């Protein structure tokens, strides 16, 4: 069974499928609705039913007042929709609205993504999930080492967090990931951090530029944009001077095959040549929002070349990895 839901006052819409709660369905659709424990204890996912019917599908310990019940308030984490539904609820407006959290997660798997890069897949407890925007980072602490890494996954699957860790003998945390940590080990998460997040207003086509493991936060942004069912163009330029530097090349090509509005361009030239190609392929660069991520030297070079090409600085989001 599927149900259609509209949120007030934003006007955002999403579909509830199968046994999903309203909270799960909203997150899967890429919407930043307010929530806390997601387990019926805190009440932060409180919403008011404006019209339509809901069904309680999970127990919750949080007690709504009689006045709240009479006004139609429910918890998104404990209810699902029956047919057409209109809800009034708060949504997180910016990265600064999300509080810093500390969570003890477990390693689900560590696996190679390519030569010198590992996927670190963490899973949070069911009752303590990390709230974040795609593109943000978290500090990871394990085995006596710590590192701040961009989150390479979308909050539409909020319990499963991906990180791309590059081998670096000078980085104690990277050494732990490559040589010592294993499935089931505990990792302390602190975050989220950063404002490298999707802009939603005004809606513009999006152009992503990634250098090496700068693909990690860009991947989260692209997956978030796809979950929102945006129809405007999404274009990714992934730069690496090494043949194995684009370690998820097959994923990008699969996206290009599956989504008519997504295109993927692997790049290996210098930063000036990269920006010249981008400018040559798009007559009006100012029509785009751009997202740039990668090593500091790469990011600085591309940002300088974009400025010289006349790209508006206010439409460029940058993060260094």
Q: What is the mean pLDDT of residues 282-310?
A: 93
Q: How far apart are CA 41 and CA 78, in angstroms?
A: 10
Range of lowest pLDDT (133-142, 196-205, 215-224): 196-205
Q: What is the mean pLDDT of residues 167-189?
A: 97
Q: The tokens 């009440």 sit on which residue?
A: 43
- Check pLDDT > 90 for residue 293: yes
Q: How far apart are CA 116 and CA 168, in angstroms?
A: 8
Q: How far apart are CA 154 and CA 221, in angstroms?
A: 7
Beta-carbon contacts of 234 under 8 Å, excluding residues fewer than 6 positions away, are: 205, 206, 208, 222, 225, 226, 259, 261, 262, 263
Q: For position 152, what pLDDT does the model report? A: 97
Q: For position 96, what pLDDT does the model report? A: 80
Domains of the chain, earliest start first: 2-88 (3.10.20.30), 97-193 (2.40.30.10), 206-320 (3.40.50.80)
Outline where 55-196 has alpha helix (H).
Answer: 66-70, 172-179
Q: How far apart are CA 199 and CA 277, in angstroms?
A: 24
Q: What is the mean pLDDT of residues 20-37?
A: 86
Q: Which two tokens stand for residue 147?
A: 């590192």
Q: For position 40, what pLDDT does the model report? A: 85
At 162, the pLDDT band (50, 70, 90 cuts) reads very high
Between residues 312 and 115, the one the model is more confident about? 312
Q: What is the mean pLDDT of residues 169-195?
A: 96
Q: For position 88, what pLDDT does the model report? A: 93
Cβ atoms of 142 and 185 closer than 8 Å: yes
At 171, the pLDDT band (50, 70, 90 cuts) reads very high
Q: For position 53, what pLDDT does the model report? A: 93
* For the chain, percent of residues with pLDDT exceeding 70: 100
The average confidence (pLDDT) of the chain is 91
- Please state, as a whole number, how many other Cβ atoms lie within 10 Å of the Cβ of residue 143: 16
- Check pLDDT > 90 for residue 175: yes
- Please state, as a whole number, how many other Cβ atoms lie within 10 Å of the Cβ of residue 284: 6
pLDDT tens for 31-64 read: 888 887 778 888 888 999 999 999 999 888 899 9
Q: For position 177, what pLDDT does the model report? A: 98
Q: What is the mean pLDDT of residues 176-189?
A: 97
pLDDT tens for 244-269 read: 899 999 999 999 999 999 999 999 98
Query: What pTM, to 2 d.p., does this model score?
Result: 0.84
């Amino acid at each position: 069974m599927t149900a259609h839901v509209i949120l007030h006052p934003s006007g955002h819409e999403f579909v509830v499928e199968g046994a999903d709660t309203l909270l799960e369905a909203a997150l899967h659709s890429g919407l930043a609705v307010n929530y806390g424990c997601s387990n019926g204890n805190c009440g932060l996912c409180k919403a008011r039913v404006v019209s339509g019917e809901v069904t309680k599908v999970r127990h919750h310990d949080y007690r709504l007042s009689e006045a709240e019940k009479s006004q139609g308030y429910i918890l998104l984490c404990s209810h699902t929709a029956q047919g057409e539904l209109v809800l009034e609820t708060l949504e997180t407006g910016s990265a600064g609205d999300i509080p810093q959290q500390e969570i003890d997660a477990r390693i689900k798997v560590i696996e190679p993504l390519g030569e010198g890069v590992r996927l670190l897949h963490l899973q949070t407890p069911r009752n303590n999930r990390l709230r974040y925007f795609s593109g943000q980072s978290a500090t990871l602490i394990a085995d006596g080492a710590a590192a701040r890494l961009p989150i390479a996954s979308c909050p539409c699957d909020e319990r499963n967090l991906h990180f791309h860790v590059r081998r670096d003998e000078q980085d104690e945390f990277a050494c732990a990931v490559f040589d010592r940590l294993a499935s089931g080990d505990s990792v302390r998460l602190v975050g989220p951090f950063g404002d490298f997040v999707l802009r939603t207003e005004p809606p513009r086509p999006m152009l992503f530029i990634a250098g090496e493991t700068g693909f990690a936060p860009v991947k989260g942004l692209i997956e978030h944009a796809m979950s929102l069912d945006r129809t405007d163009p999404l274009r990714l330029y992934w730069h690496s001077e090494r043949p194995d530097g684009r370690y998820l090349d097959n994923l990008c090509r699969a996206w290009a095959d599956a989504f008519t509005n997504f295109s993927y361009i692997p790049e290996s030239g210098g930063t000036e040549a990269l920006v010249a190609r981008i400018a040559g392929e798009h007559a009006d660069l100012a029509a785009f929002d751009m997202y740039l991520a990668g090593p500091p030297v790469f990011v600085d070079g591309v940002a300088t070349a974009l400025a010289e090409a006349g790209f508006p600085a206010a439409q460029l989001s940058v993060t260094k990895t």
